[in-house]
Amino acid sequence: MKFGVVIFPGSNCDHDTIYTLRNILEQEVVALWHKEADLKGVNAIILPGGFSYGDYLRSGAIARYSPIMNEIVSFAKRGGFVFGICNGFQVLCETGLLPGALLHNNNQKFICQNVHIIPDNNDTIITKDLDKQQPIKIPIAHGEGRYYAPKEILQDMRMKDQILFRYCNKYGEITLDANPNGSMENIAGVCNEEKNVYGMMPHPERAADEMLGNTEGKAIFDSILNNLLPR
């Protein structure tokens, strides 16, 4: 599998993602600079976390107009696999490839901590091999991670299994106290209706290496590799 990792000015999890894909999962990886218009024959694209363009406007709002995004939108509309992590999730919402928006955390502060999330379904490439009863401990690091979507859209998303993960406690219980940022219905990740574009706020690439003392996020990448068919 050949992955492309997009790099914007201000990306700071790009090399974490490249390291995880190349060194831990032994996949071919190429960096895709934001000004390029060539996807270099990749089978899958990941938009990493960070602060694209410094988040000076709204997170992801400027990155949405980078030349590379025109190619990514076309790639996604052809059925290509696209995965946005944290800032990448924000960018995908700004492009309209994912429903909803990421708003300022309800405490108006940047949050960096470990949380627990649990798969909402097993009907996607990312969640198919995960245990719906087993919470995953994984880090978050964001200031605008509060997921919002209009109620009618959210209802449609529930019916179509477009909710990937919800924040929970260590026992897998979806509670108000386990919600770190005020996201609607504890939502931590979503996908599009066609289930080829994905986004999540927590960072699986920061929980995939034994040297970090946590490899629970690796299960998400393993599920991708096991279920994503090369294009």
CATH of the domain at 169: 3.40.50.880
76-188-105-214 Cα dihedral, nearest 10 degrees: -110
Q: For 160-173, what is the mean pLDDT? A: 98
Average the pLDDT over each of 20-24, 65-69, 155-159, 205-209 and give the range with the smallest value: 65-69
What was the pLDDT predicted at 115? 98
Give the residue with greater pLDDT, 50 vs 19: 19
Strand order from edge to edge, sheet including 163-168? 28-33, 2-7, 44-47, 81-85, 197-200, 187-191, 163-168, 111-119, 136-142
What was the pLDDT predicted at 64? 75
Is the C-alpha dihedral spanning 183, 188, 191, 195 positive or negative?
A: negative
Task: Give the phi and the psi of residue 141 in degrees, each rounded to 5.
Answer: -160, 90
**Annotated catalytic residue within 34, 116, 142, 203:** 203
What was the pLDDT predicted at 98? 98
The token pair that represents 140 in the structure block: 């978050």
**Annotated catalytic residue within 71, 94, 144, 205:** 205
What percent of the chain lies above the pLDDT cut of 90? 88
Full-model pTM: 0.95
What was the pLDDT predicted at 176? 97
pLDDT of 163 > 70? The answer is: yes
**Annotated catalytic residue within 86, 93, 168, 191:** 86
pLDDT of 162 > 70? The answer is: yes
Which position has the token pair 């009863």?
133
Q: For 16-43, what is the mean pLDDT? A: 96
Q: For 66-94, what is the mean pLDDT? A: 96
- Residue 205 appears among annotated catalytic residues: yes
Give CA–CA dist 118/8, Å, rounded: 30
The token pair that represents 204 in the structure block: 């699986």
Domain that holds residue 58: 2-227
- Residue 203 appears among annotated catalytic residues: yes
What was the pLDDT predicted at 59? 67
Q: For 118-138, what is the mean pLDDT? A: 97
Q: For 31-59, what is the mean pLDDT? A: 87
pLDDT of 10 > 90? The answer is: no
Using pLDDT thresholds of 50, 70 and 90, give the confidence band for residue 51.
confident
pLDDT of 61 > 90? The answer is: no
Q: For 67-77, what is the mean pLDDT? A: 95
Which position has the token pair 């299960």?
219
Number of domains comprising the chain: 1
Q: For 195-210, what is the mean pLDDT? A: 97
What was the pLDDT predicted at 231? 62
